[in-house]
Structure 1
Amino acid sequence: MFSFPLRTATLALAAGLALGALSSPVLAHGFKAGSIEIGHPWSRATPPGARTGAGYFVLTNTGSADDKLVSASSPAAEKVEVHEMSIQDGIMNMRRVDELTIPAGGTASLSPGGYHLMLMGLKAPFKEGQMIPVTLTFEKGGPVEVELQVDKMGATGPAHGAGEAGEEGHAH
């Protein structure tokens, strides 16, 4: 007799939990700041004695106005900056970027060989499996703390992203 109302209540509870998860700041190792979604932040393990590390992720702007990543910080490093790497005339160049625009309805990718976070003055090496806290600050979305999941040394992509290809070329 109570199976229908109980089932209906269970479905309603499940739907409510699912909607709550969608509005949560943490989504399957994704994060949100205002209209900016930060998808699977990751890094690579660093060798002992390394003074720098990098951070990678995809920024998706679900809003109707541009936003900008204006700063970053981490207790794991003395300084965090956004850098752009490029190759011109066969020479690799890296330069600091004061801000990174995420266009309305668009994305900005921080990945090896392009834009990335540069964590300088590491306080300890990054070890595979570790989570590195980083605070990203957006012009409109404000600050949000994310965690870089440390993958193995030399990784070319996130190893554990929801629907993202890892270095083996398949989704995990």
Structure 2
Amino acid sequence: MKTTLSCLFLLMLSAPAFAAGEGGGIRIENARLPEMPPAAKTAAIYLDIVNSGAADRLLSAQAEATANQTELHATQFEGDIMRMRKIEAVDLAAGATTALKPGGLHIMLIELKQPLRASQSVPLALRFEKAGTVQITVPVLKREGAAAAASHAGHGQ
């Protein structure tokens, strides 16, 4: 019974969020934050932004209750070295889905205020140029495999 209730709770957390601003047409799906080791000072949020309306831009993200800084990041290769860099915005094409995923675009939580464990959730505000602000809840999920532990080594973990 506890497992069923836990699954229902996580399903509710991962339900799509819709933008209520003038741009409309923005939907957030598959939001997730992989669990990090207890001493980690950074974490990454991944999600899909489904834009069924006009072109828009993700301007910022805020997770004030969870981290001292929240930044939009992109992974870039410099020769054979993978680096993660802060970016100012994410362009969202009309009628397209933009994936924020490992090895690409993502949202970085910097200077975590406390360790994040699986089954917790993080409130996140996404600010769009046209669609306005969308509030979502991002579930913290158990990290799969050892390779995932190295996915943000460039952020000082």
Report the TM-score range of the alignment, normalised by the length of the smaller protein: 0.7 to 0.9
Q: Match for residue 73 of structure 1? A: 62
1:27 shift after superposition: 8.8
Q: Match for residue 131 of structure 1? A: 121
Q: Match for residue 90 of structure 1? A: 80
TM-score, normalised via structure 1 length: 0.71
Question: Unpaired segments of 5 or more residues in structure 2?
Answer: 1-11, 149-157
Rg larger for: 1
Report matched runs for 1:96-115 at 5 Å: 96-115=86-105
1:152 shift after superposition: 1.0
Instruction: Measure the CA separation in 1 of the matches of 2:44 and 2:119.
Output: 15
- 2:94 is paired with a residue whose SS is coil
Instruction: Measure the CA separation in 1 of the matches of 2:96 and 2:32.
Output: 21
Relative to structure 1, is the Cα distance of residues 124 and 28 closer, same or farther in structure 2, using a 3 angstrom cutoff? closer
Instruction: Measure the CA separation in 2 of the matches of 1:151 and 1:79.
Output: 21
Higher relative contact order (CA 8 A, sep 6+): 2
TM-score, normalised via structure 2 length: 0.77
Give the total of aligned pairs: 131
Say yes or no: does 1:60 pair with 2:46.
no
Task: Compute the RMSD of aligned alpha carbons.
Answer: 1.9
Instruction: Measure the CA separation in 1 of the matches of 2:16 and 2:77.
Output: 30
Question: Unpaired segments of 5 or more residues in structure 1?
Answer: 1-25, 158-172
Percent sequence identity is: 37
Instruction: Measure the CA separation in 2 of the matches of 1:77 and 1:154.
Output: 23
Report matched runs for 1:32-43 at 5 Å: 32-33=18-19, 34-43=24-33
Instruction: Measure the CA separation in 1 of the matches of 2:89 and 2:17.
Output: 19
1:129 shift after superposition: 1.0
